Amino acid sequence: MFNGVKIKEYMSFDPRDMIEDRSHLLGEGHIGGKAKGLLFAKKVLENLEEIPPWPVYIPPSRFVTTEVFDEFIKLNALEEVIEKGDWEEIREAFTRGSLPEFVVEDLRRWVCEMDYPLAVRSSSLLEDSLKYSFAGKYLTLFVSNRGSVDDRVRELTSAIKKVYASTYGPPAQEYRRKRSLTGEKMGVIIQQLIGRVRGKEFYPEIAGVGFSRNYRRWTERIRIEDGVVRIVFGLGTRCTGRNYARIFSLTNLALRPEGNNAYEIMRYSQESFDLLDLETGEFRSYNINNRKDLIRYHSNFDKLASLFSFDSEIIVPFSHYNDGKIIFTFNDFPRAYPNFFRLIGFLFRLFEREMGVPVDIEFASEPQENFFALVQLRPLSSYESYRPVAVPKDISDERIILKGNRMLTNGVLKNIRYIVYVDPWEYMRKFDPYSLAREIGRVNKALAGEKFILVGPGRWGSTNPVQGVPVEYSEISNCGVIVEVGILEKGLTPELSYGTHFFADLDVDGILYLPVFLGVDGNVFNKSWFESHEYESGKHPALRVYKGRFSVYLDGHKVIGIIVDDS
């Protein structure tokens, strides 16, 4: 899987050598890991002898070096506020700060040259390294780049300062603390935002992320080395968050993690999407069922969306004349655009070969135009070797606390002393999700040094508390295993998604993952165990901490995992 020569070539690659027009570079410092990946991709594609199934577009970009970050901190005397570590104070101080005048003048020139909406992306020294991705820890912001030149410069400088401030946000601070990382500095990429003007709004038809290795298979029929793609309608922000997206394994495009049940497909299909409002310059989210006016801009909408009928509980092809809920199933997408997936597979093989390691990519596309933009390339920062895991067969049923058979990771943990458990029914009955999340953070801190098992309803880290406990990464960072309990009648369903920032953190930290679905064959949620064993109550009535001796066996090859009581 790894090529040491190619890895050394990538590590020694100086991305600044690829910036032919030095006026596109601001400052003398480094331009960061994200810029390195992007410009490495540009180099590889420019020297490509093979013909890809579709042309690959690299968006025009400008680069602000880490030297400007240092100058900004020095100019605004921010060292003391950074040292104090109060996030709200840091954010406010960075927002009030001023960029050096020479920087503002170059930004003024750039907004005139780049007459389209922009993505302002973080590109720090530590970001997207071979070992640490920092996925989701720093900001990416979108700016409309409309209005007077002064308005456009003001919008752009505000975005840059927010990206700078995110260097010291709680998620990034915790990520560095846990790994003893120091010396972080922030570069910035100012990049053409990929999409089309549709009415008064701007977005791409589809966007997504792809991973050249699929370490979270939902069936043995999927090959790890074929890779996996996660796509959404609209801006790609929903690809990497804990939102619903369509997942395609390149082994077999027809295989879905949720199976073939129409109701389950409906539950796991995207309805909400993101776009940029060009009139207000604001990032907005909508449900497609409330924005049917946008369908007229997509003559191929039937290739992207379907209709779910609640009366008959079936999914039918999209039609303007049928009633039902619109859901983005992408059912007809592979048949309509087979070269899209051929291109993804081509890029996986190409970049793996040239970088020497598995890779992940981010992209946006207008499939009717055979248009594909690569907006990011980076090493797949963590991988699982899939050493064989022997799940014991002689364990009595009463000792099995939890069991699952979908999208689990691979690994073994023994002699775990604690289970931190959120009772799903009490969670919904005493619904105070944010105070519960903070209480879990307190327990997480108290158990530092212990690889505890974390069990709770729905999706850990969800932005929608109805779908799961809205914890931050720093509030669960010390656990060794995460279990998501799915209770369909309560609307609490794990999100079987490989490729989100949430799962990137789990992979880098070596945190195992097990989803358990109540009432589904091959799954066990031993409720009587949780009710019959002693526990310490938390400040929220749903929180319980069990002490004992527990073992975890997750076989990623056979897709089966159990957690057992060894006390």
SS3 category, 79: helix
Quick count: other Cβ atoms within 10 Å of Cβ 50?
Answer: 7
Q: What is the pLDDT of residues 513-526, one digit of tens each?
A: 899 988 889 999 99
Provide the pLDDT for residue 394: 86
The interaxial angle of helices 66-75 and 101-113, nearest 10 deg, is 130
Q: How far apart are CA 11 and CA 46, in angstroms?
A: 19
Quick count: other Cβ atoms within 10 Å of Cβ 376?
Answer: 21
User: What is the average pLDDT across 387-416?
Assistant: 88
Provide the pLDDT for residue 137: 84
Q: How far apart are the first and last CA of the chain?
A: 40
Going from the C-alpha of 541 to that of each of 418, 456, 490, the distances in angstroms are: 18, 13, 18
Q: What is the pLDDT of residues 280-329, one digit of tens each?
A: 999 999 999 999 999 999 999 999 999 999 888 899 999 877 789 999 99
Percentages helix, strand, coil for the chain (3-state, rounded to 5) are 35, 25, 40
Name the band, by pLDDT with cuts 50, 70 and 90, for residue 193.
very high
Higher pLDDT, 425 or 268: 425
Provide the pLDDT for residue 492: 61
Q: What is the pLDDT of residues 353-369, one digit of tens each?
A: 999 999 999 999 999 99
Q: Which of 149-153, 280-284, 498-502, 503-507 has the lowest mean pLDDT?
A: 498-502
Task: Identify the CA nearest to 437 among candidates 413, 458, 407.
Answer: 458
Mean pLDDT of the residues in the chain: 90
- pLDDT at residue 331 is higher than 50: yes
- pLDDT at residue 83 is higher than 60: yes
Provide the pLDDT for residue 420: 98
Provide the pLDDT for residue 311: 85
Q: Which of 346-350, 362-366, 385-389 has the lowest mean pLDDT?
A: 385-389
Q: How far apart are CA 76 and CA 84, in angstroms?
A: 15
Task: Identify the CA nearest to 175 among candidates 419, 509, 454.
Answer: 509
Provide the pLDDT for residue 129: 73
Report CA Rg, the chain: 24
Pairing of strands 186-192, 61-64: antiparallel
User: What is the average pLDDT across 402-430?
Assistant: 91
% of the chain residues with pLDDT over 90: 69
Provide the pLDDT for residue 387: 66
SS3 category, 10: helix
- pLDDT at residue 497 is higher than 60: no
Residues sharing a CB contact under 8 Å with residue 522, sequence separation 6 or more, in sequence order: 403, 404, 405, 560
Name the band, by pLDDT with cuts 50, 70 and 90, for residue 538.
confident
User: What is the average pLDDT across 487-506?
Assistant: 60
Provide the pLDDT for residue 499: 47
Q: Give CB contacts under 8 A, 24+ apart, made by 327-331.
A: 327/265, 327/266, 327/269, 327/270, 327/271, 328/232, 328/233, 328/246, 328/269, 328/270, 328/271, 328/273, 328/288, 328/304, 329/246, 329/265, 329/269, 329/305, 330/231, 330/246, 330/248, 330/303, 330/304, 331/306
Pairing of strands 481-486, 512-517: parallel
Q: How far apart are CA 97 and CA 104, in angstroms?
A: 13
Query: Which residue type is seen at 362?
Result: E
Higher pLDDT, 473 or 307: 307
User: What is the average pLDDT across 100-123?
Assistant: 96
Provide the pLDDT for residue 505: 64
Higher pLDDT, 171 or 422: 422
DSSP assignment string, 402-435:
EEE-SS---EEEEEEEEEEEE-HHHHHHT--HHH
User: What is the average pLDDT across 143-157?
Assistant: 96
